[in-house]
Amino acid sequence: MEVKHNELKDKGKFYLEDNGKEIGEMTYVFVDENTIDINHTLIDKSYRGRDLGLLLIDKSAEFMRAHQLKAIPSCPYVDKVFKESTKYDDLIA
For residue 2, the model assigns a pLDDT of 92
| Of 56, 61, 50, 46, the residue nearest 25 (C-alpha) | 56
**CA 93, CA 89: separation in Å to the nearest integer?**
9
For residue 49, the model assigns a pLDDT of 93
The tally of CA atoms less than 13 A away on the side-chain side of residue 30 is 13
Does residue 1 have a pLDDT over 90? no
Mean pLDDT of the chain: 96
Q: What percent of the chain has pLDDT over 90?
A: 98
| Of 54, 88, 50, the residue nearest 71 (C-alpha) | 88
Model confidence at 58, pLDDT cuts 50, 70, 90, reads very high
pLDDT digits (tens, 9 = 90+) for 11-37: 999 999 999 999 999 999 999 999 999
For residue 8, the model assigns a pLDDT of 92
